[in-house]
């Protein structure tokens, strides 16, 4: 693995796509396209990838795919930050062996704050830790400002992905980090796919989000990189508020907000299929797919915001050529 100053890059702020899982029609791991998708992120200028997270499908663990999927990504992402979603120290040990820099601690539905902190300490003994405020709609739980102050006080914590999809709870994290006394040591990353741009241009009590770790950035990644670089140069440009609304509208279609996020992973797959990076939108669960009307909503976004969705360079000259086919 290439030796990079990943801590410095993480603090500066980069685009980190939440890496999807690429399957064949019979729902087996498509190793060639899986590796090709990682190369797409590297070639797009992403500063890192997050693997084994919600967008990768938590069920990879039930299908014996956790280590193979992490290994494929690590082999292609040797020049960027590598973050592994981890439930426990055993998964963190696997990630460390494969050359990952940090573990994103995945919450468990129904566990208490004390139980989550205990897991954080265990995982943090293996790899530096990135906290994760996961929205309740996809398995997270409500966590208070006091919890985040205790969590941020752990010396193993290097970053926090803030993704409750809720303004009040987002501010709870920021206040908690400030209360911990370690604000200067922790990189804040937005995971609020419904509020990406506004998170990135907003300053709160001297804190700013450095970058994003997002399922939304698993698609149209080159534009995301260009946008983040431009925001870092000029966060006050009036264009950002218009783009913020457009990106949120696009995310509503991709993440299937109208149906309680049921089609969120399939929606990401559908965009990647349209980009020529996936052959189909298959998920591990045969019942998981696009919701009724979701494809039409995505069509609507393509028609409304052609500049937002255009990646002509990558569609015309992808690193790995894959034919497009019907789902």
Mean pLDDT to the nearest integer, 284-293: 97
pLDDT tens for 230-278 read 999 999 999 999 999 999 999 999 999 999 999 999 999 999 999 999 9
Q: At residue 212, does pLDDT exceed 80?
A: yes
Q: What is the CATH number of the domain that holds 148?
A: 3.20.20.70
Q: At residue 315, does pLDDT exceed 70?
A: no
Closest CA to 50 of 23, 15, 2, 79: 15
Does 110 map to a domain?
Answer: yes
CB-based contact 133:191 (threshold 8 Å): yes
| Model pLDDT, residue 324 | 35
CA distance 280 to 317: 20
Mean pLDDT to the nearest integer, 170-184: 98
CA distance 214 to 234: 22
Mean pLDDT to the nearest integer, 76-94: 98
Mean pLDDT to the nearest integer, 163-189: 97
| Model pLDDT, residue 35 | 98
| Model pLDDT, residue 233 | 97
| Model pLDDT, residue 16 | 98
Does 209 map to a domain?
Answer: yes
Q: Is 187 helix (H, G, I), strand (E, B) or coil?
A: strand
The strands making up 211-214's β-sheet, listed across from edge to edge, are 15-17, 211-214, 187-190, 157-163, 129-134, 102-105, 81-86, 48-51
Q: At residue 196, does pLDDT exceed 60?
A: yes
Domains contained in the chain, number: 1
Q: Is 207 helix (H, G, I), strand (E, B) or coil?
A: strand
Q: Could you tell me how many helices (H) and strands (E) the chain has, helices first?
A: 14, 10
Task: Tell which wins on pLDDT, 89 or 140.
Answer: 89
| Model pLDDT, residue 247 | 97
Does 267 map to a domain?
Answer: no
| Model pLDDT, residue 110 | 85
Does 151 map to a domain?
Answer: yes
Q: At residue 297, does pLDDT exceed 80?
A: yes
Does 101 map to a domain?
Answer: yes
Does 159 map to a domain?
Answer: yes
- Integer Rg of the chain from CA: 18
| Model pLDDT, residue 326 | 34
Q: Please, what's the b/e burial string for 58-96 (b: 16 or more CB within 10 A of its CB; e: otherwise)?
A: bebeebebbbebbbbbbebbeebbbbbbbbebebbbbbb
Does 51 map to a domain?
Answer: yes
CB-neighbour burial class of residue 182 (10 A; exposed 0-12, middle 13-18, buried 19+)? middle
Q: Provide the pLDDT confidence category of residue 323 given band limits of 50, 70 and 90.
A: very low
Predicted TM-score (pTM) of the model is: 0.93
CA distance 133 to 37: 26
Does 221 map to a domain?
Answer: yes
CB-based contact 91:65 (threshold 8 Å): no
Q: At residue 314, does pLDDT exceed 70?
A: no
| Model pLDDT, residue 1 | 61
Q: At residue 312, does pLDDT exceed 90?
A: no
**In which domain, by residue range, is 161 found?**
6-234
pLDDT tens for 113-160 read 999 999 999 999 999 999 999 887 777 788 999 999 999 999 999 999
| Model pLDDT, residue 317 | 33
CB-neighbour burial class of residue 24 (10 A; exposed 0-12, middle 13-18, buried 19+)? middle
């Amino acid at each position: 693995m290439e030796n990079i100053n990943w801590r410095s890059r993480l603090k500066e702020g980069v685009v980190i796509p939440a890496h999807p899982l690429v399957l064949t029609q019979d729902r087996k791991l498509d190793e060639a396209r899986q590796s090709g998708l990682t190369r797409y992120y590297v070639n797009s200028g992403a500063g890192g990838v997050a693997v084994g997270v919600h967008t990768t499908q938590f069920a990879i663990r039930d299908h014996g795919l956790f280590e193979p999927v992490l290994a494929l990504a690590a082999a292609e992402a040797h020049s960027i930050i590598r973050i592994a979603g981890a439930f426990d120290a055993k998964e963190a040990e696997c990630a460390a062996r494969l050359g990952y820099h940090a573990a994103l601690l995945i919450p468990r539905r129904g566990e208490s704050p004390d139980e989550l902190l205990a897991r954080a300490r265990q995982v943090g003994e293996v790899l530096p830790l990135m906290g994760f405020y996961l929205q309740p709609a996809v398995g997270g739980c409500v966590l208070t400002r006091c919890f985040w102050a205790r969590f941020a006080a752990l010396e193993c914590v290097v970053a926090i992905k803030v993704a409750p999809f809720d303004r009040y709870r987002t501010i709870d994290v920021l206040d908690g980090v400030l209360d911990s006394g370690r604000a200067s040591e922790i990189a804040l990353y937005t995971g609020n796919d419904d509020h990406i741009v506004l998170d990135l241009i907003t300053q709160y009590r001297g804190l700013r989000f450095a970058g994003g770790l997002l399922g939304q950035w698993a698609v149209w990644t080159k534009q995301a990189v260009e946008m983040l670089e431009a925001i870092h140069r000029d966060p006050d440009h009036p264009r950002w508020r218009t783009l913020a609304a457009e990106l949120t509208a696009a995310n509503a279609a991709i993440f299937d907000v109208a149906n309680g996020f049921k089609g969120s992973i399939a929606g990401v797959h559908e965009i990647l299929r349209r980009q020529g990076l996936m052959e189909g939108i298959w998920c591990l669960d045969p019942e998981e797919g696009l919701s009724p009307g979701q494809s039409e909503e995505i069509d609507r976004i393509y028609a409304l915001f052609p500049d937002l969705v255009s990646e002509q360079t990558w569609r015309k000259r992808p690193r790995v050529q894959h034919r497009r086919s019907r789902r």
